[in-house]
Each structure stands twice: as structure tokens, then as C-alpha cells.
Amino acid sequence: MRPGQGRQPVERAMAFLYHEAMSRLLSYLGHLVEEHLPQLLLLLEDCLAIPSFSGQEAGVADLLLGFFRRHHLPAARTPRGSVVAVLAPPELSPGGLPATLPEGEARQRLDALLTAIRGRHLPLLAFNAHMDVVEPGEGTAWVYPPFAATVQNDRVYGRGTCDMKGALAAMAQALVLAHQAAVEHPLQRAVMACFVTEEEAGEGLAFKEILHDLQWRPDAVILGEPSEMQIARGQRGKLEFFLRAHGKRAHTSVPEVGENAAYKIARAILAVEALDRGEFRTVGPDPERILERSTLVATSFRTIPFTKSSVPDMAEAHVTVRLARGETLDSIKQKLFDRGGWPEVTIDPVVYRGKSYTGLPAEWPACHPAWEIPRHHPFFAFLRTAVRDALGREPSDRIWPFSTDGVYSAGQLGLPTLGIGPGQEAVAHLVDEFVEIGHLREALALYAYLPFAPAPDDHPRFEVRSPTAPDAR
């Protein structure tokens, strides 16, 4: 329908003013990005110097809390030890929280701030980055020291640069930048930046504490896992299980009186291989169809005890599955059983039983569904436009080959979730891991712009009314 003739000049004037305001904002942010980039690199350097393996993130968490305090941004530590910082309009959040505030009280203050943001009907966007890194492996294989920042060839080298302290530092610095810009430019949404623990050990575990246990529920989530600053709009699910077989011990000279558990495990492993091949035959290797195909890999197996002198009475194997869209532990079990000839072998999901650095235990089964945000989703349209505005280029999109905290926000809660982060996913977890400084600059520019970026008129919170969403809001 065409608007009335008389309104057209008014609409044109409005559009002109809007574009004027947008270009003023973008050029202002552009200046701030160059000013803040050296600070981002310093923060990254400080983070890299702390080896923060899963369950040992205290140093990075303390560093971030101190950083936000210095920049007058309210932040608090969760019971699991994650750090959450909030960017809100200046009138709601006049300063940071004092260093002397007990942790419980800091959390209450943050809770009250988030309630005030909801009271204003201001949309809330969450940033997600994990503080933990994987072990460097054979340290001598590194050309650059893993726990220091080495800048060379426009890259920063060190364990966690790509996965994902680069994104973490960019998100933290972007919050400071946006906090400064919010004095002159109105925020379109508040941001809750979540710097979580134990993602490498149990993806989703610490993010669940924030989104579910503390009930700090955003409208949408940006994951900063590496994507070469292109948009990641989903991933396959992840399932790990043990195959376990029991038999009867006997002397090797009379195997017929025993029952060999190794043979049972061997048959189960061959069934796993057959199912994996069957999935490949049905769907093929097309990356566009990656969410349609589960892959199954038997990674290791052993008899218990591991000895050469008897018919073994116990055996187990470990299997890692990447789940296709809609697949679950039960559906994979059924497919294995349906092939016929399944031996007397149980399938038990692996459970992460770690302890956070704050002393909280966890029991987190490694069984997570696939998730995907379609290209026609309003949140995807929002992020694509934001990349064009802030970075001046058209982003491509992909499905991540690895697992992220999106298994909880999107897979379990059904929250609009997308990834965009600095670094190449192929160098994550490797020796001489690095992140491009060009990616860090883009990440800083984009993350700082997102709180100001206009949302689609008809979807201010990127909501899609879908009766199938697990937790439609």
C-alpha cells in the first residue's frame, strides 16, 4: 500500500534526519574504536598471561571485575564464578559498583538494574564469551610462549587468543566504549555481557546458571566464538557416551567357559561405524546439509582390567556424536538398536563432574541438541544489517562445526542466538593459536555498535511467535 501523497515529503525528511543521525553515530564510534583498540590489546595481554583452564578461571574473573570497576560499569560474580557486566542507559546506571561491596550484594544490585531495564521495556542483548582455555599440550612445540601475548604479522599469538580471549577482551572493551558513547547517543538496548566458566569442559553449564538459575534472561544472544567475523547461525548438537560390556572372566586356555567382553564392545563399535557410514551415504558431505547428518566416532576403548592373561569380563569404549537437527540420545540409541545384532552393551552418556573455582560442583551430561537460526529470522536480519553499517561489508554465514554455549541459549531455551567473533575456528585449540588484529578491530567496532543499532520495526526484541519454540516468550 502506498502512503498518502502529502506524507511523502515528511517521510523523506524523517529518513534524511535518521541517516544523518546514523552517520554521525557511526563516525563517532569509528573514532572511539581507534582510541580503544590499544586498550583492548592490553586487556587481552593481561588475560593471556593467566592460564585459566576449566575450573581455574579465578584470575581472569578478578581481572575483569577490576577492569569494569575502573571503568564504572556495574559487574558482579555469579556463584559459579562467571562475571556479568551490564551496559544500561546512563540515568539507570550512574556508575560502577564499589570494590568493597560483598559479592552477594553486588549480585543483588545487578539484579535490581536488570529489573529496572525490564521495567523500562528496554530490550536486553546478551554477549557470551568463556574465560577458560584448553591446555597448551606439548609446550615445547610452541614457537610463541602460550601464556603471553606475542604480536607479530598483525596477529596476536597465545593460548586462548582465538578461543576466545580475543572476543572476550573485545566485548569487555566494547562495553566501555559504548558506555562512553551512550552519554550522547541513545541506547536502543541494554547489554548483559556474560564471561563464563567451564565452557570447554561442559558447554552450556555456566551459561545456564545465568539464564535460568539467576533468571537474568535476555531477548537475544551474541556468541563471540571464532567465526572470522562472519555470522554463525547454528551448530550440530553434541553427545558423548560410553559403551559398556560385561562378560565372564576365564583363563585364556579355556575361553569357552568365559564370556569375552572385548568382543561385545568390538561388535558395538562396528555398529557405531555402520551407522556413521549410513548417515554419510544418506546425506553426503555437502556443508549446506551439515545439520542433517549426525557423525559418530569411536574414540577409544579398553578392557578392564587391561591385561593379557585372561578373557576380559569388562570392556568400555568412548563415542563422540555430532547430532543432526532433531536427534537426541534416545533417537541415536534407537538407530543403533534398529540395525539389528546389537550386542549386550549399555550406552551411558558422559557426565561432566567438575568443580567451579568457587567450589560449586556440577553434574552436566554431555548431551546437547543442535540449533539453527534461519536466514529469514529477524535477529539474523538485524545482525546482517549491523555488520553492513558498522563494518561496511556484506557478511557471509555458516554453521559452526564445533559446540558452543548456544546449546543452552538456543538449543534449550529457544532464545534467538547468533555467533560472530574474531579468529579462525581452524586454529582454536592448536599450537601457536592466534587472532588477527584486524578481526579484533572489527569485533570492537561491531560489539560497540550493537547497543545502538536500530532493530526491525516489527520485531524490536527479535521475537518470532512460534508454537514450536521450546520456551516461547
Q: In angstroms, give the least distance from the CB of 199 to Zn ion.
A: 6
Q: In angstroms, give the least distance from the CB of 132 to Zn ion.
A: 8
* Unique residue bearing C-alpha cell 579462525: 424
Nearer to Zn ion, 163 or 228 (CB): 163
Q: In angstroms, give the least distance from the CB of 210 to Zn ion.
A: 17
Cβ partners under 8 Å of residue 260, min gap 6: 247, 311, 312
Can you read off the three cell numbers belonging to residue 436?
A: 588477527
Encode 156-201 in three state secondary structure.
EECCCHHHHHHHHHHHHHHHHHHHHHCCCCCCCCEEEEEEECCCCC
Burial class (CB within 10 angstroms; exposed 0-12, middle 13-18, buried 19+) of 323: buried
Instruction: Indicate the SS3 state at residue 83.
Output: strand
Cβ partners under 8 Å of residue 347, min gap 6: 241, 242, 243, 329, 333, 336
- Applying the rule CB under 5 A, the residues between 330 and 349 that interact with Zn ion are none
- Applying the rule CB under 5 A, the residues between 164 and 193 that interact with Zn ion are 164
Residue nearest to Zn ion (CB): 163
Can you read off the three cell numbers belonging to residue 2?
A: 502506498
- Applying the rule CB under 5 A, the residues between 215 and 244 that interact with Zn ion are 225
Stretch that binds Zn ion, among 163-171, 317-325, 363-371, 439-447 (CB under 5 A): 163-171
Nearer to Zn ion, 163 or 433 (CB): 163
Stretch that binds Zn ion, among 15-23, 155-163, 183-191, 343-351 (CB under 5 A): 155-163
Q: In angstroms, give the least distance from the CB of 411 to Zn ion.
A: 16
**DSSP tag of 389:** H
Nearer to Zn ion, 64 or 164 (CB): 164
- Applying the rule CB under 5 A, the residues between 19 and 78 that interact with Zn ion are none
198 part of the interface to Zn ion, by CB under 5 A: no
Q: In angstroms, give the least distance from the CB of 407 to Zn ion.
A: 12
- What x/- string results for residues 87 through 106 when contact with Zn ion is judged by CB under 5 A? --------------------
Q: In angstroms, give the least distance from the CB of 160 to Zn ion.
A: 9
Q: Are strands 250-251 and 417-419 parallel, antiparallel or unpaired?
A: unpaired
Instruction: Indicate the SS3 state at residue 153.
Output: coil
Nearest to 295 by CA among 284, 280, 282: 280
Q: In angstroms, give the least distance from the CB of 404 to Zn ion.
A: 7
163 part of the interface to Zn ion, by CB under 5 A: yes
Instruction: Indicate the SS3 state at residue 205.
Output: helix
Nearer to Zn ion, 298 or 427 (CB): 427
Residues that bind Zn ion (CB under 5 A): 163-164, 225
